[in-house]
Structure 1
Amino acid sequence: MTQRNESWPAGTPCWADLIASDPDRTQEFYREVLGWEYGEPRPEHGGYRNALIGGRPVAGLYPAGPDLRGVPHVWQVYLASDRIHRCAERVLAAGGTQLMEPVEVGEFGWMGLWQDPTGASFGMWQAGEHIGFAVVDVPGSVAWCDLMTPDHHAARDFYAQVFGYHYEDVGEDDAPYATFTVPHGGRPAGGIGMTDPAAENAPAAWSVCFQVDDVGAAVQRVRDAGGSVVEDPFDVEYGRLAVVAGPDRESFAIMTPATVQATGT
């Protein structure tokens, strides 16, 4: 397990959260599937609570109150920002759209929501006391975040302008995909790829992948907990992956990294 105590470099996927129609049901689902425990809900922030692994935050959940009804139940990915207001200006200059202006979340930090020119929504988080993901490389934590979009060229240009992403192409000609590294980042922070052309009207969206010890066992836990399987387990270069959905039909991926498979842990 790798613990983190410092804020993430700007542009790095640093947090993910989910609006739940039935928070108790959703909490139990992810407890069963990913082993999460939970911090106390914060009434001053609409009942928002942190999901925890080893007592450290790995994701957020909050109830769909009256002001959030009708908002899609999707895992929202947040990108780190050291100066959120200045970064918001760059988003608009690069052709993005503001969905929610930056707001201060008490002593924890600042957040806002935007949409890139290809239609994918993303959040930005400027850390205060809450840095975002405080533990990685452990089952239940986020293993990877990426963007799949019909116009990957436009998306790559946009995020390069806003966050200074540097790309390395790792996909195929018929399935473009690139990992990105942020300035001052030591390793790839995420990826941008193209949606399947055969999937007509596939929306642009950021998605989240959680690490698990054994994908097959985790898929069975998803079914037992009342979720569904979107894509059965399959092998990729970096491990074994499946795509599943939770109580509100929110999709997410689960993956056993290749290093874990190799060691049998």
Structure 2
Amino acid sequence: MKQNVKVISTIIVLTIILMACNSAITFPPVSQTPTNSHNQGQFVWHDLATYDPLAAKDFYSEVFDWEFETLGTGSNVYYVVKNKGIPIGGMFKLADKYGKAAEWIASISVPDVDAAISYNTSGGGKTIFKKAAFDGRGETALVQDPQGAFVAFLHSESGDPQPQRAGNIKMNSWLWNELWTNDLDASLGFYRGLTSSETEEVKAAKVPYFMFKQDNNTFSGAIGNPVEGARSAWMPYIKVKDVNATFEKAKAAGAHVMMEPTQSIRKGTVAVLMDPTGAQFTIQQWILR
């Protein structure tokens, strides 16, 4: 993808202090049905940290028909993102001192948040927001991994959702998470150690591409960073029915184009975009095989 990506990302420093201070909020669990089981290495939640959540709400509502529930009041507000009534993520406002910044932060399931923080620190990573307990959600911490990608560690209060095959995931929901890293070998080793996952190379890929697997489940992927000069980052994918139609709708709603659908990349089924506040995401049309 290197030759197709046109926008260079900027380094974004994030905080979740706003959320932690709001002790009155009961956050939605990551699974609609309590499972009391945890799938180490599975991405189980997504939060958008943005300088302008109102603009972001308008955009995602227009493009994906997402709905929003407001929790909290005044300056302490958390917006629950819903797809067809089912919570799939959240959104909150960054402090003004961080300027016009935005990023989707994915939460990865870990059995012990403290142990995950220690592992990240020992590998050269940074703790951005230390462990805290969120009512209804569980224990979580925001870190920057040793290669510079932001990720949240999460041990959910009521268990993780059951893994789903791509074909069973609802339209306009999270399909995939992909690490764009400036050091592929180092990232593969780091996340293998963090999650006890195995990695499997996709032999048919045009560039080195690996998937993280746990038992019989495939949870995420990793690729060398296609954005020249950018830091490493986790890229969230949203499943759509028609990539071209969604791409045009997103552009009309104010999205910035990083990569338009092209037949040379996954047969034209993906497009990489930034929402109007600057948060990156990928849309993918899933073709049943």
TM-score of Structure 1 vs Structure 2, range by shorter chain = 0.7 to 0.9
Runs (4 or more) in structure 1 with deviation over 6 Å come to 132-136
Q: Distance in 1 between matches of 2:275 and 2:85?
A: 23
Q: Shift of residue 69 of structure 1? A: 2.9
Contact 2:163/2:217 (<8 A) preserved: no
Pair 1:222 & 2:250 matched: yes
* % identical aligned pairs: 24
User: What whole-Å deviation, never above 9, does each CA across 1:216-255 have from its counterpart, x for those lacking one?
Assistant: 1101111221222221113555871111111112121001
Kept in 2, the 8 Å contact 1:215–1:240? The answer is: yes
Q: Which residue of 1 aligns with 2:235?
A: 207
Whether the 8 Å CA contact 1:167–1:181 is kept in 2: the answer is yes
State the TM-score, normalized to the length of structure 2: 0.78
Matched, 1:164 2:196: yes
Q: Deviations over 1:24-60 (max 9, x none)?
A: 2211110111110112223499311211112211121
Count matched residues: 253
The CA RMSD over aligned residues, in Å, is 2.8
Query: Separation in 2 of the partners of 1:34 and 1:125?
Result: 26
- Structure 1 residues 121-130 or 225-234, which shifts more? 121-130
Please say if residues 109 and 130 of structure 1, whose CA atoms lie closer than 8 Å, have aligned partners that are also in contact: no
CA, structure 1 residues 238+128, in 2 after alignment: closer, same or farther (shift >3 Å)? farther
Partner of 2:132: 103
Q: d(CA) in 1 for partners of 2:142 and 2:267?
A: 30
Residue in structure 2 matched with residue 18 of structure 1 by the alignment: 48
Out of 186-195 and 36-45, give the one that drifted further: 36-45
Q: Residues 220, 130 of structure 1: CA spacing in aligned structure 2 closer, same or farther, 3 A cutoff?
A: farther
Q: Contact 1:238 / 1:258 at 8 angstroms: preserved in 2?
A: no
**TM-score, normalisation: structure 1:** 0.85
Q: Secondary structure at the match of 1:47?
A: strand
Q: 1:83 aligns with which of 112, 131, 142?
A: 112
Distance 1:218-1:8 versus aligned 2 partners, 3 A rule:
farther
List aligned pairs for 1:1-265, cutoff 5 A.
Answer: 5=33, 6=35, 8-43=38-73, 46-66=76-96, 69-70=98-99, 72-129=101-158, 131=160, 137-170=169-202, 175-182=207-214, 184=215, 186-196=216-226, 200-235=228-263, 236-237=265-266, 240-259=269-288
- The whole-number CA distance in structure 2 between the counterparts of 1:229 and 1:114 is 28
Gaps spanning 5+ residues in structure 1: where? none
Q: Secondary structure at the match of 1:41?
A: strand
CA shift at 1:86, angstroms?
2.1
Rounded to whole Å, the distance in 1 between the matches of 2:159 and 2:76 is 17
